Structure 1
Amino acid sequence: MSFSRRNNAKITGNGTRTMMFAHGFGCDQNMWRYVAPQFEDDFRVVTFDHVGAGGSDLSAYDFQKYGTLEGYASDIVELGHELGIDDGIFVGHSVSAMMGVLASLKAPEMFSRLVLVGPSPRYINDGDYHGGFTQQQVDELLEFLDSNHMGWSQAMAPVIMGNPEHPELSEELTNSFCKTDPEIAKHFARATFMADNRDDLDNVTVPSLILQCAEDVIAPVSVGHYLHAKLPDSKLVLMNATGHCPNLSHPKETTEAIRSFVDVE
């Protein structure tokens, strides 16, 4: 099976340069439906599902491989090679932002710019580093998910999404979480919330855009500032958008911030 089929990749757009959009935990490429099409006039646009999500090939899910974010980053590189991506732009939401960082280190020629939407290199507080969660909170979150996948999805989706004035967005995220195979969801959550990619940041050589949302319980503003300080060539944009999913809740602001970055040559 090709990597494109494995990851249910969709290719649209008219440009010679490629923009690849990657979704976060518990979601699929549909999360980019308001943003990715805005770039089709100028770029070849690639959206895809991580293995275990959306329309991906579930038989390709390997619990050992996907026990860390490195496995997902390897998929991105394999898909990029198959599609002939060179000098491309990677746009990653949430945990996919760090997958993009890892992919750029594995294949430096593939992406010449990284767009990191709501990124976090480490969710757990550590000394002077404030990731937003204590170890105990993460342990409890994972234990809740292990014991009650549906209940976790219904409780966490509104917190993650924010924007209570738009309950339909929380409902969409809840449904997305609930559609995910429970065992895969548990495994992906552990790989996400236990990851520590802080040491990888120093090695990134390509320009990076950090889109930091306000009132984001998953990636607080302190994390955005940390990333900006650590990534050698980065721009931090503090968005008016609230919550953790601006690609759904504030697509216009998200699109404009990305465009202003990728149009600067």
Structure 2
Amino acid sequence: MSSISIRNNVRLFGNGDRTIILAHGFGCDQAMWRYVIPFLEKHFRVLVFDYVGCGKSDVTSYDDNRYGTLSGYAQDIIEICEELNIEQSIFIGHSVSSMIGVLAYIERPQIFQSMVMICPSSCYLNMDDYYGGFEKNELEDLLEMLDSNYIEWANYLAPVVMKNQERSHLSQELAESFCSMDKSITKNFARVTFFSDNRQDLKKVDIPCLIIQCAEDDIANERVGQFVKDNLPNSKIAYMEASGHCPHMSHPQETIDVLKNELFTEKFLG
């Protein structure tokens, strides 16, 4: 394995001529895709990886400057795809990875044929006439909680993100994923995630894009998803009955059904 593949714990498997890239969200890792991979690998070559600092990535490769903006994470995707000669892929990004994918597309458009954004937000902050869902002091308080009591922060945030309390093991898994990361890396990734503003970048993406919007998503609600849709020139939005921010974990079959309806169209496959 190359240094890049080791750095990002890259795995590539499945059948098909077209590659699907699965990019996990903040505080997660590639294992979060395990419920939808069995469907995808029947039809596509599937690429999964961990961002540096997450999952089984090489944490010694973490650099504060590189990963001080979302562009550093986008560079990870670009380097992985260039090494594996991947072009014209279908990119599926969860949460913050939607905007990381946008930045990667702007720099290396040939990598992408189409994009799926699961629960995306281009800006989490309320600013002027834009509604992102959070006031600045709310996010600062969240980071302060992370700094003062990491475990309490993880156990507070995970159920807010996951919802579906009748399946509490999912929230527990997410909390454990948060806690498995180095505290300083988690805090930096959280700040980069929640304080980035990629609203103007959306207009630069002209490939087909699908936004998957969940009900009762406290992280990226319907107004946020609609803004992303309205500012992507070639996009559509699919509304799920699933609640929460991680439908590929909490409602995998509904997520698969949405993907099944979209991925095999001429628009997405090109």
Q: Is this a same-fold pair by TM over 0.5?
A: yes
The 5 A counterparts of 1:138-153 are 138-153=139-154
Which stretch of structure 1 is more off in the superposition, 144-153 or 48-57? 144-153
Q: Is the 8 A contact 1:35 1:251 kept in 2?
A: yes
Q: How many angstroms apart in 2 are the aligned matches of 1:259 and 1:57? A: 34
Q: How many angstroms apart in 2 are the aligned matches of 1:253 and 1:44? A: 21
Q: How many angstroms apart in 2 are the aligned matches of 1:233 and 1:205? A: 6
Partner deviation per Cα, 1:189-216 (whole Å, 9 max, x = no partner): 0110110000100110111000011100
- The CA RMSD over aligned residues, in Å, is 0.8
**Residue equivalent to 1:213:** 214
Q: Is the 8 A contact 1:21 1:36 kept in 2?
A: no
Aligned residue type for 1:126 = M
Q: How many angstroms apart in 1 are the aligned matches of 2:59 and 2:87? A: 28
**Residue equivalent to 1:115:** 116
Shift of 1:183: 0.8
Q: How many angstroms apart in 2 are the aligned matches of 1:256 and 1:62? A: 39
The DSSP-based 3-state class of the residue aligned with 2:213 is strand
- The answer to whether residue 160 in structure 2 is matched with residue 156 in structure 1 is no
Shift of 1:129: 1.2
- The answer to whether residue 29 in structure 2 is matched with residue 31 in structure 1 is no
Q: How many angstroms apart in 2 are the aligned matches of 1:259 and 1:7? A: 28
Partner deviation per Cα, 1:202-254 (whole Å, 9 max, x = no partner): 11011100001110000011011101100000010111010000010001111
Q: TM-score, normalised by structure 2?
A: 0.96
Partner deviation per Cα, 1:156-180 (whole Å, 9 max, x = no partner): 1011100111111111111111111
Q: How many angstroms apart in 1 are the aligned matches of 2:255 and 2:131? A: 25
Aligned residue type for 1:210 = I
Q: How many angstroms apart in 2 are the aligned matches of 1:41 and 1:114? A: 19
How many residue pairs were aligned? Answer: 265
Q: How many angstroms apart in 2 are the aligned matches of 1:78 and 1:242? A: 34
The DSSP-based 3-state class of the residue aligned with 1:212 is strand
Shift of 1:94: 0.6
Aligned residue type for 1:239 = M
Aligned residue type for 1:120 = S
Q: How many angstroms apart in 2 are the aligned matches of 1:234 and 1:259? A: 17
**Residue equivalent to 1:71:** 72
**Residue equivalent to 1:168:** 169
Shift of 1:37: 2.4
Shift of 1:104: 0.9
Shift of 1:40: 0.9
The DSSP-based 3-state class of the residue aligned with 1:166 is helix
Shift of 1:139: 1.0
**Residue equivalent to 1:192:** 193
Q: How many angstroms apart in 2 are the aligned matches of 1:133 and 1:215? A: 15
The DSSP-based 3-state class of the residue aligned with 1:165 is helix
Q: How many angstroms apart in 1 are the aligned matches of 2:34 and 2:20? A: 14
Q: How many angstroms apart in 2 are the aligned matches of 1:17 and 1:153? A: 37
Aligned residue type for 1:148 = N
The DSSP-based 3-state class of the residue aligned with 2:109 is coil
| Sequence identity (%) | 52
Shift of 1:46: 0.5
Q: Is the 8 A contact 1:132 1:218 kept in 2?
A: yes
The DSSP-based 3-state class of the residue aligned with 1:91 is strand
Aligned residue type for 1:194 = F
**Residue equivalent to 2:13:** 12
**Residue equivalent to 1:229:** 230
Runs of 4+ more than 4 Å apart: none
Gaps of 5+ in 1: none
Aligned residue type for 2:10 = A
**Residue equivalent to 1:91:** 92
**Residue equivalent to 2:22:** 21
Q: How many angstroms apart in 2 are the aligned matches of 1:125 and 1:259? A: 34
Q: How many angstroms apart in 2 are the aligned matches of 1:89 and 1:185? A: 28
Shift of 1:2: 2.6
